[in-house]
Amino acid sequence: MERHDIKRRLGSYTITKELTRDLSAFFCQTLSHTLSPDLAGFKIEENTAITIIHGDDRINYGNISKCRDFTFHNKMDGLIIELAKVVKTRSYEKAFVLQLSFSKEIEDNYLYMALQDAGATVKLTGICQKLMAVLAPYKNVHSRFYRSELLSTGFFVAGSVCGTLAFAAPAPPYGLLLAIAAVLGLGLFAYSSIKGYSTFELAR
């Protein structure tokens, strides 16, 4: 029996109800047709939980297939989708674990999967590729502003310095250019701070 696991940091995404529905379909169809029959022989979507994070509060919804019935709001800091299944017999033990996390904080956006099964490496690699294809339409550009932890600070400092120099510039053209640079720098700082890495639009 082979064991294989995958952990990767994710880019930034816009989390919508459409995405949760696409993920529900992914669990129902792709996983059911990829995993061994004994692992796939249960209603995967009914054993896939969603956890909503808002500040220190966590709200758990136990069935991703019913996400269309959930009342979501956009004041969220994170969302975690989790699935765990273990099958034990006298002769073998098989297991599948998935954790998909989205957050406004860069370090909490990740995918972790582990599979113990025959042909685990090939199966898990295929599952990962298909899952990333499901996520692809929901990718946003916020990760461009988070290439470094110092980048948002750099936006703020550059905007502040340019704003100060704009008032001291002796010639109007230079003052105008510095003012534009100040607005751009402070605007990018505000955008990255307010929007966060991944964003949540589940109330639509």
Domain boundaries, the chain: 2-139, 143-196
Q: Specify whether the CB–CB gap between 21 and 15 falls below 8 A.
A: no
Distances from the Cα of 129 to the Cαs of 25, 99, 190, in angstroms? Answer: 15, 15, 34
Mean pLDDT of the chain: 77
Residue of 193, 191, 189 whose CA lies nearest to 161: 189
d(CA 65, CA 105): 27
Q: Please state, in angstroms and rounded to a whole number, the distance separating the CA atoms of residues 133 and 126.
A: 11
Residue 186 pLDDT grade (very low, low, confident, very high; cuts 50, 70, 90): low
Sheet containing strand 2-9, strands side by side: 2-9, 110-117, 93-103, 78-88, 48-54, 57-61
CA dist 40 to 17, 66, 67, 87, 125, Å?
Answer: 25, 19, 21, 10, 17
Task: Provide the whole-model pTM.
Answer: 0.75
Q: Which residue has the higher pLDDT, 55 or 96?
A: 96
Say if residue 184's pLDDT is above 70: no
Return the structure tokens found at 130.
């298909």
CA distance 20 to 106: 20
The answer to whether the beta carbons of residues 15 and 79 sit under 8 Å apart is yes
Residues 6+ apart with CB under 8 A from 47: 83, 84, 85
pLDDT at 195: 59
Bridge partners, residue 201, by sequence: 16
For 57-68, write each residue's pLDDT tens digit.
887 877 676 665
